[in-house]
Structure 1
Amino acid sequence: MAEAGRVEPVVMTSFIAGVLFIWGIFALSGAGVTRRLPLLKTVIFLVAIMLIGRGIAFPVIMPIFPSNSLTFWLVSSALCLLMGVSYA
Protein backbone atom coordinates (compact mmCIF):
# COMPACT_ATOMS: atom_id res chain seq x y z
CA MET A 1 0.00 0.00 0.00
CA ALA A 2 2.85 2.38 0.85
CA GLU A 3 4.59 1.63 -2.46
CA ALA A 4 1.34 2.42 -4.25
CA GLY A 5 1.33 5.87 -2.62
CA ARG A 6 -1.64 5.25 -0.34
CA VAL A 7 -1.84 7.27 2.88
CA GLU A 8 -3.34 4.55 5.11
CA PRO A 9 0.00 2.96 6.15
CA VAL A 10 1.39 6.33 7.24
CA VAL A 11 -1.73 7.24 9.20
CA MET A 12 -1.98 3.83 10.88
CA THR A 13 1.72 3.71 11.76
CA SER A 14 1.61 7.25 13.14
CA PHE A 15 -1.42 6.39 15.26
CA ILE A 16 0.22 3.24 16.66
CA ALA A 17 3.46 5.14 17.36
CA GLY A 18 1.49 7.84 19.20
CA VAL A 19 -0.34 5.31 21.36
CA LEU A 20 2.90 3.50 22.19
CA PHE A 21 4.52 6.84 23.04
CA ILE A 22 1.74 7.70 25.49
CA TRP A 23 1.90 4.21 27.01
CA GLY A 24 5.67 4.67 27.36
CA ILE A 25 5.17 7.92 29.27
CA PHE A 26 2.84 6.09 31.66
CA ALA A 27 5.38 3.28 32.03
CA LEU A 28 8.10 5.80 32.91
CA SER A 29 5.75 7.44 35.40
CA GLY A 30 4.99 4.07 36.97
CA ALA A 31 8.71 3.36 37.24
CA GLY A 32 9.23 6.68 39.03
CA VAL A 33 11.34 8.23 36.25
CA THR A 34 8.86 11.03 35.59
CA ARG A 35 6.25 12.69 37.76
CA ARG A 36 3.22 10.65 38.75
CA LEU A 37 0.44 10.90 36.19
CA PRO A 38 -3.28 10.85 36.98
CA LEU A 39 -5.02 7.46 36.68
CA LEU A 40 -1.61 5.79 36.56
CA LYS A 41 -2.63 2.43 38.02
CA THR A 42 -5.76 2.24 35.89
CA VAL A 43 -3.92 3.05 32.66
CA ILE A 44 -1.08 0.62 33.42
CA PHE A 45 -3.63 -2.11 34.19
CA LEU A 46 -5.60 -1.46 30.98
CA VAL A 47 -2.44 -1.37 28.86
CA ALA A 48 -1.28 -4.66 30.37
CA ILE A 49 -4.66 -6.28 29.69
CA MET A 50 -4.75 -5.03 26.08
CA LEU A 51 -1.21 -6.16 25.31
CA ILE A 52 -1.61 -9.57 26.95
CA GLY A 53 -4.94 -9.99 25.17
CA ARG A 54 -3.35 -9.15 21.81
CA GLY A 55 -0.50 -11.53 22.52
CA ILE A 56 -2.81 -14.41 23.34
CA ALA A 57 -5.62 -13.75 20.85
CA PHE A 58 -3.58 -13.84 17.65
CA PRO A 59 -5.16 -17.11 16.40
CA VAL A 60 -8.55 -15.39 16.46
CA ILE A 61 -7.24 -12.21 14.79
CA MET A 62 -5.19 -13.95 12.06
CA PRO A 63 -8.11 -14.61 9.65
CA ILE A 64 -8.99 -10.90 9.63
CA PHE A 65 -5.56 -10.08 8.16
CA PRO A 66 -4.74 -13.02 5.86
CA SER A 67 -1.85 -11.24 4.13
CA ASN A 68 0.30 -11.25 7.28
CA SER A 69 2.76 -14.12 7.57
CA LEU A 70 2.89 -16.61 10.40
CA THR A 71 6.29 -15.18 11.35
CA PHE A 72 4.73 -11.73 11.72
CA TRP A 73 1.99 -13.13 13.96
CA LEU A 74 4.37 -15.10 16.15
CA VAL A 75 6.92 -12.29 16.58
CA SER A 76 4.40 -9.47 17.10
CA SER A 77 2.31 -11.59 19.49
CA ALA A 78 5.38 -12.56 21.50
CA LEU A 79 6.40 -8.90 21.73
CA CYS A 80 2.90 -7.85 22.81
CA LEU A 81 2.85 -10.60 25.41
CA LEU A 82 6.28 -9.58 26.72
CA MET A 83 5.29 -5.91 26.92
CA GLY A 84 1.98 -6.78 28.59
CA VAL A 85 3.65 -8.90 31.24
CA SER A 86 6.19 -6.12 31.80
CA TYR A 87 3.38 -3.62 32.36
CA ALA A 88 1.59 -6.04 34.67
Structure 2
Amino acid sequence: MNVLLVFSGILSAVAALLHLGCIYFGAPWYRIFGAGEQMAQLAEQGSLQPTIITSGITMVLAIWSLYAFSAAGIIGKLPFMRLALVTITALYLCRGIVGLFLIFYPIGRTPQFWLWSSAICLLIGVVHLLGVKQQWRLLEPQL
Protein backbone atom coordinates (compact mmCIF):
# COMPACT_ATOMS: atom_id res chain seq x y z
CA MET A 1 0.00 0.00 0.00
CA ASN A 2 1.33 3.41 -1.01
CA VAL A 3 0.71 5.88 1.82
CA LEU A 4 1.19 8.96 -0.36
CA LEU A 5 -1.45 7.84 -2.84
CA VAL A 6 -3.81 6.93 0.00
CA PHE A 7 -3.30 10.44 1.39
CA SER A 8 -3.86 12.08 -1.99
CA GLY A 9 -6.97 9.94 -2.49
CA ILE A 10 -8.28 11.08 0.89
CA LEU A 11 -7.55 14.72 0.01
CA SER A 12 -9.44 14.41 -3.28
CA ALA A 13 -12.34 12.70 -1.49
CA VAL A 14 -12.49 15.46 1.12
CA ALA A 15 -12.51 18.07 -1.65
CA ALA A 16 -15.38 16.20 -3.33
CA LEU A 17 -17.32 16.11 -0.04
CA LEU A 18 -16.78 19.84 0.51
CA HIS A 19 -18.18 20.48 -2.96
CA LEU A 20 -21.22 18.38 -2.03
CA GLY A 21 -21.52 20.55 1.07
CA CYS A 22 -21.72 23.61 -1.16
CA ILE A 23 -24.62 22.05 -3.04
CA TYR A 24 -26.41 21.05 0.15
CA PHE A 25 -25.80 24.18 2.24
CA GLY A 26 -26.04 26.60 -0.68
CA ALA A 27 -25.05 30.24 -0.85
CA PRO A 28 -23.31 30.52 2.53
CA TRP A 29 -20.92 27.71 1.62
CA TYR A 30 -20.32 29.08 -1.87
CA ARG A 31 -19.34 32.34 -0.17
CA ILE A 32 -17.21 30.71 2.53
CA PHE A 33 -15.24 28.74 -0.05
CA GLY A 34 -14.84 31.74 -2.36
CA ALA A 35 -16.81 30.44 -5.33
CA GLY A 36 -17.82 34.00 -6.13
CA GLU A 37 -20.81 36.16 -5.38
CA GLN A 38 -22.46 35.27 -8.67
CA MET A 39 -22.52 31.54 -7.77
CA ALA A 40 -23.85 32.36 -4.31
CA GLN A 41 -26.60 34.57 -5.73
CA LEU A 42 -27.57 31.95 -8.30
CA ALA A 43 -27.83 29.39 -5.50
CA GLU A 44 -30.03 31.77 -3.49
CA GLN A 45 -32.28 32.24 -6.51
CA GLY A 46 -32.71 28.47 -6.85
CA SER A 47 -30.83 28.25 -10.14
CA LEU A 48 -29.59 24.81 -11.13
CA GLN A 49 -26.37 26.22 -12.60
CA PRO A 50 -24.32 26.12 -9.35
CA THR A 51 -25.57 22.59 -8.63
CA ILE A 52 -24.68 21.35 -12.11
CA ILE A 53 -21.23 22.94 -12.11
CA THR A 54 -20.44 21.82 -8.57
CA SER A 55 -21.76 18.30 -9.25
CA GLY A 56 -19.42 18.01 -12.21
CA ILE A 57 -16.46 19.08 -10.09
CA THR A 58 -17.55 16.65 -7.36
CA MET A 59 -17.68 13.73 -9.80
CA VAL A 60 -14.26 14.52 -11.22
CA LEU A 61 -12.71 14.76 -7.75
CA ALA A 62 -14.37 11.49 -6.70
CA ILE A 63 -13.00 9.71 -9.78
CA TRP A 64 -9.54 11.14 -9.08
CA SER A 65 -9.81 9.84 -5.53
CA LEU A 66 -10.68 6.37 -6.83
CA TYR A 67 -7.66 6.39 -9.15
CA ALA A 68 -5.36 7.29 -6.27
CA PHE A 69 -6.87 4.52 -4.12
CA SER A 70 -6.54 2.07 -7.00
CA ALA A 71 -2.88 2.93 -7.57
CA ALA A 72 -2.28 2.64 -3.83
CA GLY A 73 -3.64 -0.89 -3.90
CA ILE A 74 -6.74 -0.26 -1.78
CA ILE A 75 -9.24 -1.03 -4.55
CA GLY A 76 -8.95 -2.99 -7.79
CA LYS A 77 -7.08 -1.77 -10.84
CA LEU A 78 -8.86 0.85 -12.91
CA PRO A 79 -8.36 1.23 -16.66
CA PHE A 80 -5.72 3.52 -18.15
CA MET A 81 -4.02 3.81 -14.77
CA ARG A 82 -0.78 5.45 -15.90
CA LEU A 83 -2.45 7.88 -18.26
CA ALA A 84 -5.05 8.83 -15.68
CA LEU A 85 -2.53 9.33 -12.87
CA VAL A 86 -0.18 11.41 -15.00
CA THR A 87 -3.11 13.53 -16.19
CA ILE A 88 -4.56 13.96 -12.69
CA THR A 89 -1.17 14.91 -11.26
CA ALA A 90 -0.51 17.38 -14.08
CA LEU A 91 -3.94 18.98 -13.69
CA TYR A 92 -3.53 19.43 -9.93
CA LEU A 93 -0.08 20.97 -10.37
CA CYS A 94 -1.12 23.21 -13.28
CA ARG A 95 -4.24 24.38 -11.45
CA GLY A 96 -2.13 25.21 -8.42
CA ILE A 97 0.46 27.17 -10.40
CA VAL A 98 -2.00 29.04 -12.64
CA GLY A 99 -4.16 29.90 -9.64
CA LEU A 100 -1.24 31.66 -7.97
CA PHE A 101 -1.09 34.09 -10.88
CA LEU A 102 -4.82 34.71 -10.60
CA ILE A 103 -4.39 36.12 -7.10
CA PHE A 104 -3.58 39.42 -8.83
CA TYR A 105 -6.42 39.11 -11.39
CA PRO A 106 -9.11 37.26 -9.41
CA ILE A 107 -11.76 37.19 -12.22
CA GLY A 108 -14.88 36.87 -10.07
CA ARG A 109 -13.21 35.13 -7.14
CA THR A 110 -11.41 36.54 -4.14
CA PRO A 111 -7.61 36.62 -3.98
CA GLN A 112 -7.92 34.45 -0.85
CA PHE A 113 -9.81 31.82 -2.88
CA TRP A 114 -7.01 31.66 -5.42
CA LEU A 115 -4.33 31.53 -2.73
CA TRP A 116 -5.90 28.77 -0.65
CA SER A 117 -7.27 26.68 -3.50
CA SER A 118 -3.95 26.92 -5.33
CA ALA A 119 -2.00 25.91 -2.24
CA ILE A 120 -4.33 22.93 -1.74
CA CYS A 121 -4.04 21.89 -5.40
CA LEU A 122 -0.26 22.16 -5.27
CA LEU A 123 -0.16 20.08 -2.08
CA ILE A 124 -2.34 17.36 -3.58
CA GLY A 125 -0.38 17.50 -6.84
CA VAL A 126 2.99 17.10 -5.14
CA VAL A 127 1.75 14.25 -2.93
CA HIS A 128 0.24 12.63 -6.02
CA LEU A 129 3.47 13.05 -7.97
CA LEU A 130 5.59 11.49 -5.23
CA GLY A 131 3.15 8.60 -4.81
CA VAL A 132 2.94 7.93 -8.55
CA LYS A 133 6.73 8.01 -8.80
CA GLN A 134 6.96 5.36 -6.07
CA GLN A 135 4.36 3.13 -7.75
CA TRP A 136 5.38 3.72 -11.37
CA ARG A 137 6.79 0.23 -12.04
CA LEU A 138 3.69 -1.41 -10.60
CA LEU A 139 1.46 0.66 -12.88
CA GLU A 140 2.82 -0.74 -16.12
CA PRO A 141 0.13 -1.61 -18.62
CA GLN A 142 -0.81 -5.27 -18.79
CA LEU A 143 -0.33 -6.69 -22.28
| Equivalent residue for 1:74, pick from 115, 118, 121 | 115
User: Distance between the aligned counterparts of 1:4 and 1:32, measured in 2?
Assistant: 44
Say which one has the larger Rg. 2
Deviation per CA, 1:31-52, whole angstroms, max 9, x where unpaired? Answer: 0001111211110110000110
Q: Distance in 2 between matches of 1:61 and 1:75?
A: 10
Name the Cα RMSD after superposition: 1.6
Tell me which residue corresponds to 2:83. Answer: 42
* Aligned with 2:61 (options 1, 11, 20): 20
TM-score by length of 2: 0.57
CA contact (8 A) 1:45 1:87 kept: no
Alpha-carbon distance, 1:66 to partner: 2.2
Q: Which has the higher contact order (CA 8 A, sep 6+)?
A: 2
TM-score, normalised to structure 1, is: 0.89
SS in structure 2 opposite 1:57?
helix
Structure 1 residues 15, 57: CA separation in 2 closer, same or farther (over 3 Å shift)?
A: same
Count residues with an aligned counterpart: 87
Q: Tell me whether 1:52 sits opposite 2:93 in the alignment.
A: yes
Consecutive unaligned residues of structure 2, counting only runs of 5 or more, are 1-41, 130-143
Deviation string 1:16-37 (CA, Å, 9 cap, x unpaired) is 0000011111000010001111
Q: Point out where structure 1 has 5 or more consecutive residues left out of the alignment.
A: none
Q: In 2, are the aligned partners of 1:62 and 1:73 still within 8 Å (CA)?
A: no
C-alpha distance in 2 between matches for 1:29 and 1:67: 36
**Partner-residue secondary structure (3-state), 1:2:** helix
